Amino acid sequence: MKYGQIIPFALAATLLTGCGQVMESTANLIDTAAEKIENSNDDNAQAPVVEVVEEPQVAEGVVTEAIEEPVQTVAPVVQQQAPEPAAPVQKKQQAVTEKHDTVMDSVMITADEGNIRAEPSIDAKVVASSTSLGTGYFEYLKERVKTSDGRTWYKVDYGSGTGYVSSAVAELTMFGDPPQVPGLEAVKITEAQGNVREEPYLNSAVIYTGKKGERLEATSATFDMPDGRTWYMVKVNGKYGYISNRVIEEVYSSEWTDVQEALSGGEVFYVTNAEGNVRANASLNSSVIYTAKKGASLLYMGTYEKTSDGRTWYNVEVNGRYGYISGAVGELR
C-alpha cells in the first residue's frame, strides 16, 4: 500500500462527529494501515516513516471554514531623485543716486581728456569732452551716482546740456582756477598724523592718513575756507585730496628756491610793528602760517602783490615756507 492510500482513511475519520470518536477512529485506521504496509513489503524492505499530523480539535457541531489570509501586495518603492537646488538669483546691483551737500561747485578734469556721457555709465554715449569744449572745468550740479562697477559719476552742466563725468578722470573743486603756490613741490606732515580729505573741510571723508615727517605730492593749488584754514590739494595713491595747513609745512623745489634767492638780492622784510602775520596768500582772509615779532628780518623773495584794499603784500620765506606779509607791518631793507 502506498502513502496515498492512507489519505482516504484519515479523511473519513475526520468526518466523524464528536471529539472522542474522532480521535479513537483515527487511531484504529492508522494501525490497520500500518499492518497492511508491513505485510505488503518483503522482509528486507524498510518500512516508510509515517508522520502523524495531529489534527486540531474541533468542537461538536462547529463548522470550520478556512480563512483565507489576504495577500499583501507590496508596492515597489520608487526612489525619487531629489530635485537639484535652484541656482541663486543674482540680483543686479542698482546704481545709487544721491544729492551731494558740498562746498565744491566745480568738476575739474585731471586726466589728459575727460568725456561727458549722457548717462552715468561707461557704455553711455559721449556727448562732449574737455578737449572738444576747450576747458577742464564744469559746473557741478551737486548730484553724484555710484554704480556697481565702483565708479562715481558727477553730474555736470557743460553749457549746452547736462551729463556725467567719471571720478576716474575728474575731481571736485572750487569754481575757476584755485590760488597757486609758486614752486610748491610737496607738503610735509608736521603733526603726529595728517588727514587727507575728500573735500577741503573738516567734515569731509578721510581718504588717507599720513604720519609725521611724510611728504605728500602737492599740486600748488590752495583753498582758503571760511573756518580760517587753508587746504592744500595733494595727490595720494593716484587720487586727489586736501590737507589742512595746520598739520603741514610747505616744501619747495630746490630750483625754485635758488631762483628766488637770486632774485631777492639779499633784501629782507623788517617787522616794525609789535608783530606781523605771514599768510599763505596775499589776503587778510588767508590763514596765518607764521607770526613774526618786532625786529624780525624775513627773507624777501623779490615779488609782491597789490590788492584792492590798498595793501601791498610781500612774498617772504620763513623756515622753508613761503607766504605773504603786509607792508603795513614793516618795510624792506
pLDDT in tens, the chain (333 residues): 444 454 554 444 444 444 445 455 544 545 555 555 555 554 444 544 545 455 555 445 444 455 555 555 555 555 566 566 665 555 555 788 988 877 778 888 888 889 999 999 999 999 999 888 888 888 899 898 999 888 899 999 988 899 999 988 888 877 655 666 667 788 899 999 999 998 888 888 899 999 999 999 887 777 777 777 888 888 888 888 899 989 998 887 765 555 555 555 567 888 899 889 999 889 888 888 888 888 888 888 878 888 888 899 998 888 667 889 999 999 987
Q: Based on the number of CB atoms within 10 Å of its own CB, is 312 exposed (0-12), middle (13-18) or buried (19 or more)?
A: middle
Alpha helices in 236-296 (DSSP H): 254-264
DSSP character at residue 29: H
Facing residues of 241 across strands? 234
List the grid coordinates of 126. Answer: 559721449
Chain centroid to Cα 268, Å, comes to: 56
pLDDT of residue 190: 92
**Predicted pLDDT of residue 22:** 44
Task: Report the candidate in 242, 274, 260, 267 with the shortest Cα–Cα distance to residue 322.
Answer: 260
pTM above 0.85, yes or no: no
Asked whether the domain spanning 184-252 has the same topology as the one spanning 96-173, the reply is yes
CATH code of the region 184-252: 2.30.30.40
Task: Quote the CA–CA distance of 144 and 122 in Å, as a whole number.
Answer: 15
Grid coordinates of 11: 479523511
Total count of residues recorded for the chain: 333
Q: Which has the closest alpha carbon to 153: 234, 97, 201, 199?
A: 97
Q: Class of 96-173 per CATH?
A: mainly beta
Q: Where do we find the cell 622753508?
A: 320
Q: How far is CA 254 from CA 182, 185, 246, 261, in A?
A: 12, 9, 23, 11
Architecture of domain 254-332: Roll (2.30)
**Contact between residue 201 and residue 239 where contact means Cβ atoms under 8 Å apart:** no
Q: Are 295 and 274 in contact (CB under 8 A)?
A: no
Q: How far apart are CA 109 and CA 135, in angstroms?
A: 9
Contact 287, 245 (CB under 8 A): yes
Domain ranges of the chain: 1-61, 96-173, 184-252, 254-332
Give the bridge partners for 128, in sequence order.
116
Q: Where are the beta strands (DSSP E) in 92-173?
A: 96-99, 106-109, 115-117, 126-129, 137-146, 152-157, 162-166, 170-173
Separation of alpha carbons 197 and 203, rounded Å: 9
